[in-house]
Structure 1
Amino acid sequence: MDFSPNFRMLALYNQRMNKQLLDVCSQLTQEQLHYDMNAFFPSIMAHWNHILFGDLIMLQRLVDNQIVVVDPAVFGTLPNAKSVSDTFADSFEELRVLRELVDSIYVNITGAFNTASGTRVVRYTTTEGQMIERTVDEFCMHIFNHQTYHRDQLTCLLSQLGLDFGCTDLPVIVPEGAQVK
């Protein structure tokens, strides 16, 4: 089965949802973004930084396994993800720039996926030292599930602040669906 159209769709979904949530977060002060809300990650910025951690470390694993190629001039500007507690952006402006760049990279790399891409193997060591081998299809399912899961936590925090983050339904956010080429 060819999952590549699904990953292209999910990359667009993540890009569009992240933009939608960043637009909502732009209404917040620096203090509100960093306020400890007693959540899974303490603050809204901590949630954003963790989502970035997942995207950056998984992108690095795809590059290291020669599954994808990212322009070295672009890839070299990305921070190196090492720990789940890494902070990649302290300010909203830093966050927006980095988030938009990472999202555009995922849209670009999934655009090159095909049936054969999904069967290739990604080998890596987790941050806890465990050796893992997964097909690209399995690996990409984790990438996109990770973002969605933690964005859900983020929307809960935004709800607690009384902010309307809009619709999060994939068919509405990506109306062109799996037809994405």
Structure 2
Amino acid sequence: MDISANFRMLALYNQRMNRQLLEVCQQLTNEQLQQNTNAFFPSVMAHWNHILFGDLIMLQRLVASRLVDIEPSTLEQLPNAKAVDDQFVSDLKGLSILRPLVDSIYVDITRSLKTSDCNNLVRYTTTEGKKIERNLTEFLQHIFNNQTHHRGQLTCVLSQLGLDFGCTDLPIIVPEGTRS
């Protein structure tokens, strides 16, 4: 499998897992979504907002690098990720609109990705002010790894709330694997 096919698979995996977990969260009351989880993030919604923040800020950095083309009308629908503590959505209704949009953008980006693109450099400044330069492979790997890591934290919380979030295995979630 070449690296561009790997990223297409990971984008589909993230899209499908986010949808799956969002459906599970529909079983929770607003109070349960906001209650203290005693986890890394203080609530289920805080977990979702952090995952969304990571995706939005990395997407902004990717767009700024001019390595991807995204329709301006699509970008206008996204909030600006400017601070680590941003709360983009306060409930599942808002998340149900924004999360699928962000996921579809990443799927679209990876569909047009060629292996030869993966050595292009992304230069950006972190939220702490540090200048970073990474090739697109490292940059995309971080995006998908970050989502998976924080969804793991979220599934732990959902499990403690007694919810069954189903299978999380990549070959089951994305059975078509690397096929385009």
- Alignment partners' CA distance in 1, 2:52 and 2:114: 25
Q: Give runs of aligned pairs for residues 139-154 of structure 1, distance below 5 A.
A: 139-154=139-154
- Alignment partners' CA distance in 2, 1:139 and 1:46: 24
Task: State the shift of 1:2 in Å.
Answer: 3.7
Indicate the residue corresponding to 2:121 in structure 1: 121
- Alignment partners' CA distance in 2, 1:148 and 1:84: 18
Which range moves more in the overlay, 68-77 or 134-143?
68-77
Indicate the residue corresponding to 1:170 in structure 2: 170
Q: Give runs of aligned pairs for residues 62-101 of structure 1, distance below 5 A.
A: 62-101=62-101
Indicate the residue corresponding to 2:45 in structure 1: 45
Letter in 2 for 1:119: N
Task: State the shift of 1:168 in Å.
Answer: 0.1
Task: State the shift of 1:115 in Å.
Answer: 1.2
What SS does the aligned partner of 2:133 have?
strand
Indicate the residue corresponding to 1:23 in structure 2: 23
Indicate the residue corresponding to 2:155 in structure 1: 155
- Alignment partners' CA distance in 2, 1:115 and 1:95: 32
> Identity of aligned pairs, percent?
66
Give TM-score scaled by structure 1 length.
0.98
What value does the CA root-mean-square deviation take over the aligned residues? 0.9
Indicate the residue corresponding to 1:136 in structure 2: 136
Task: State the shift of 1:38 in Å.
Answer: 1.1
Letter in 1 for 2:148: T
Give TM-score scaled by structure 2 length.
0.98
Letter in 2 for 1:121: L
Letter in 1 for 2:147: Q
List gaps (5 residues or longer) in structure 2. Answer: none
Conserved in 2, the CA contact under 8 Å of 1:79 and 1:88?
Answer: yes
Letter in 2 for 1:6: N
- Alignment partners' CA distance in 2, 1:30 and 1:139: 34
List gaps (5 residues or longer) in structure 1. Answer: none
Task: State the shift of 1:178 in Å.
Answer: 1.8
- Alignment partners' CA distance in 2, 1:120 and 1:99: 27
Moved over 4 A (4+): none
Q: Across the two proteins, how many residue pairs are aligned to each other?
A: 180
Indicate the residue corresponding to 2:7 in structure 1: 7
